[in-house]
Amino acid sequence: MRLKKCFVNSVGSVVSVVCALVLSACLPASTQVVPLAQHVVLIIDENTSFGTVYPNGMPWLVSQGNKYGYAANYYSDHSGSLLDYLYLASGSCEANYSCANAPACSLPSGSHNFYCNGNDCFTQNSCQATVTKDPITDTNIFQLMDNQPISWKVYAQNYLNAGGNVNVPDFTSANQPPYTNYYARHNAAVWYDEILANTLGAQGNIVDFEQFGIDVANGTLPRFAIIVPDGCWDMHDECSSLPNGDNFLNSNLKPMLNLPDFQPGGSGLVFVTFDNGAGDEVGQVYTGVMGPNVKVGHVSNIAYKHENTLRTMIDALGLPSYPGWSATAADMSDFFNPTAGSVVLNSPANGSTQGPSILVNAAASELGAQIDHLEVWDTFNNKATKLGNVFSKTVNQAFTVSGNGAHRMTVQDIGGAPDYAILHKEVTSYTVTSNYGVTVNTPANNSTQATLFPVSAFAVEAVAEESSSGIDHIEVWNGNTKLGDSPKGTSISQWFSLAPGNYTLAIEDVNSTGQTIHSSSASFTVASSLGMFVNSPANNSTWSTTTIPINAYAYEQSGSSTPLVDHIEVWDSTHGIKLGQSPTGTGVNSVFINQMVTLPAAGEYKLSIIDVNPNNGYKSIHTAVVNVNVRASQASSLKRVSARP
């Protein structure tokens, strides 16, 4: 990445800063052929030829392609699913040797042979299957994002039902949960070294698909997202169908496409493609390109393949280099309006909690206009304050704000003279606090956890993150053994595995030199049993309000006997009232719940938290019982429904 001196006119001073950001600093507008996107979302379906999808096979998907744009001359790269997923991540099939009858494919310059086929990657010079994955060390999009850093997630359907870790194999493997239809070979991220080694906390970015709807609702989508439907919803398995796949996309993408970032004035970008044609053979596949910066009704007849999509996504994210064949592939630039533009904001994250010194990391791009400068504004208590003018297309600087409570940050790019008009803007909301240190949400102190359990925490310090004395990342320690790191940033949300026993974990925020700033601890017991595990509310706890938080998860892993968890329900067993349930929807199976429920009045309650099996008449699998005492004067009425048996 090239660095360039840029000048920042902040309130009361002029300072020189180095604009080291997510794209080459201060480039002229003419060099940008793909506009930056606040969110880039990739969905890959399976084994369906262009003519099967278009014009009538998947009506919702086709309608979105007709509304925005689609590629009419797009071909897959290679037979065998995994190879095409790798093309979309590292621009290579990562093999030039045929294993398990997979035809050889050519490697780009700088790429290496990891003996991959459509199902697996093998040890060097061998086609023998291995117990653990053989990590791919070539440069890939996940590595490039981690190095910036840029936020990313893979939303994998039934990931937690399948076992919830990066080494879970295809569900058809021996002794695997039989109802998940999760395929590791459809999840490119879990084949690369930095994810398998959990470098920079990368494993925490592989999450269950349940989290996608939560992130959409909360406005916390990452900059880059991959959606991995399971075999029942991506046209791979017999349980799937064209209507299934189309309904999955319609139900789950529509709420996202209604977000401001995907509406006019926004910059969100969505790709929906297929790994291969019918029979998992190389062929023409439908690829829809959606977003407010896409030409209306554009049909591209240019010859494209998966490496073209990879290059386009890399440009939309502002990454500094192109792995594999994407280095010589063309951008899919014909899809974008010639006047498209955007401001993208990496920090502060929407919904985050910050100290008074805020790292602002943002960039702007305009295909048809010159950018004179960026403006940074903070709004608190309905009063907007300009924090500074940045005479560059990028900003990576700490600004000081005043006042604890809810803030809104706006970064906007300004055009040239004489109008100096606002071209585009991006807005994020955050909370400022002076309570410094590490806050641990889960595991709850003195709780019981499963052998796979969630760690969720965030840290706040007086100085901005990534400064020399600010927070670089969060670490989780069990005694002298580090369990893992967060990605660069101020929060962690990741699942860890420990053997049954008693533990006290230290969760620490660490600066760039590796020094601990603050540390908090959580003591708990890991049990060998299956069932429901509750972090909130604590048993026999007392509450001053009728609205209380429910934080719980199901763990039912028992090999080939593992039941499928469809969702979690919360019941007031004292009065036979259903208080709530975890998210459900088309293709959404939820194995954790984190939401508020409201009790009808003050009093003592027995709460039952239940995981539900769709393959057994939607009967409960396990029930956790929590007793709470509410001493609130407020009361609310809830409709009584039939109680669970």
| pLDDT value of position 29 | 39
Position 105 in a domain? no
CB atoms within 10 A of CB 339: 12
Position 112 in a domain? no
Residue with token string 């621009």: 91
Alpha helix (H) residue ranges in 13-102: 50-53, 59-67, 81-90
Q: Are residues 225 and 245 in the same domain?
A: yes
- Residue 77 CA to residue 136 CA, distance in Å, equals 19
Residue 8 has pLDDT above 50, yes or no: no
Residue 26 has pLDDT above 50, yes or no: no
- Residue 536 CA to residue 594 CA, distance in Å, equals 9
Under a CB-based contact definition with an 8 Å cutoff, are residues 548 and 597 in contact?
yes
DSSP string, 599-636: -SSSEEEEEEEEEEEGGGTTEEEEEEEEEEEE--S---
For the chain, what is the mean pLDDT? 91
Q: Tell me the CA distances in angstroms from 76 to 79, 87, 91, 212, 369, one per residue in order.
A: 8, 9, 12, 27, 35
| pLDDT value of position 123 | 66
- Residue 439 tokens read as 């806050």
| pLDDT value of position 274 | 98
| pLDDT value of position 101 | 63
Last residue of a domain, one of 500, 526, 552: 526
DSSP 302: S
| pLDDT value of position 125 | 60
Q: Are residues 325 and 358 in the same domain?
A: no
Q: Are residues 456 and 409 in the same domain?
A: no
DSSP 539: T
Higher local confidence (pLDDT), 197 or 640:
197
Q: Are residues 330 and 352 in the same domain?
A: no
Q: Are residues 210 and 352 in the same domain?
A: no
Residue 592 has pLDDT above 70, yes or no: yes
pLDDT in tens, 32-79: 799 999 999 999 999 999 999 999 999 999 999 999 999 999 999 999
pLDDT in tens, 157-189: 999 999 999 999 999 999 999 999 999 999 999
Average pLDDT of the residues in 628-639: 66
Q: Are residues 279 and 313 in the same domain?
A: yes
Position 100 in a domain? no
| pLDDT value of position 100 | 61
| pLDDT value of position 133 | 73
Domain that holds residue 375: 5-33+341-431
Residue 634 has pLDDT above 70, yes or no: no
CB atoms within 10 A of CB 231: 22
pLDDT in tens, 307-354: 999 999 999 999 999 999 999 999 999 999 999 999 999 999 999 999
**Residue of 480, 488, 484, 504 lying closest to 496 (CA atoms):** 484
Could you tell me what percent of the chain has a pLDDT over 90? 86
Q: Are residues 558 and 624 in the same domain?
A: yes
Q: Which of 11-15, 151-155, 489-493 has the lowest mean pLDDT?
A: 11-15
Q: Are residues 355 and 409 in the same domain?
A: yes
| pLDDT value of position 468 | 75
Q: Say if residue 298 is exposed, middle or buried (CB neighbours under 10 Å; 0-12, 13-18, 19+).
A: middle
Q: 282: domain CATH number?
A: 3.40.720.10
Q: Are residues 202 and 306 in the same domain?
A: yes
Last residue of a domain, one of 286, 311, 335: 335
Q: Indicate the number of domains in the chain.
A: 4
Position 98 in a domain? no
Radius of gyration of the chain (CA): 25
Of the pLDDT bands very low, low, confident and very high (cuts 50, 70, 90), residue 106 is confident
DSSP 220: -
Buried (b) or exposed (e) across 305-322, using 16+ Cβ within 10 A?
Answer: bbbbbbbbbbbbbbbeeb
Could you tell me what percent of the chain has a pLDDT over 70? 90
Higher local confidence (pLDDT), 12 or 142:
142
| pLDDT value of position 113 | 85
Last residue of a domain, one of 414, 431, 448: 431
DSSP string, 376-408: EEEEETTEEEEEEEEESSEEEEEEE---SEEEE
CA 349 distance to own-chain centroid = 13
Q: 23: domain CATH number?
A: 2.60.40.10
Q: Are residues 193 and 288 in the same domain?
A: yes
Residue 198 has pLDDT above 80, yes or no: yes
| pLDDT value of position 131 | 63
Position 47 in a domain? yes
| pLDDT value of position 633 | 60
Position 637 in a domain? no
Position 107 in a domain? no
pLDDT in tens, 440-457: 999 999 999 999 999 999
Of the pLDDT bands very low, low, confident and very high (cuts 50, 70, 90), residue 96 is confident
| pLDDT value of position 15 | 35
| pLDDT value of position 534 | 98
Confidence (pTM): 0.93
Q: Are residues 357 and 269 in the same domain?
A: no
Buried (b) or exposed (e) across 48-75, using 16+ Cβ within 10 A?
Answer: bbbebbbeebbebbbebbbebbbbbebb
Q: Are residues 398 and 497 in the same domain?
A: no
Residue 386 has pLDDT above 80, yes or no: yes
Position 480 in a domain? yes
CB atoms within 10 A of CB 455: 23
Of the pLDDT bands very low, low, confident and very high (cuts 50, 70, 90), residue 98 is low
| pLDDT value of position 242 | 97
What is the number of alpha carbons within 13 Å of residue 589 lying toward its C-beta?
26
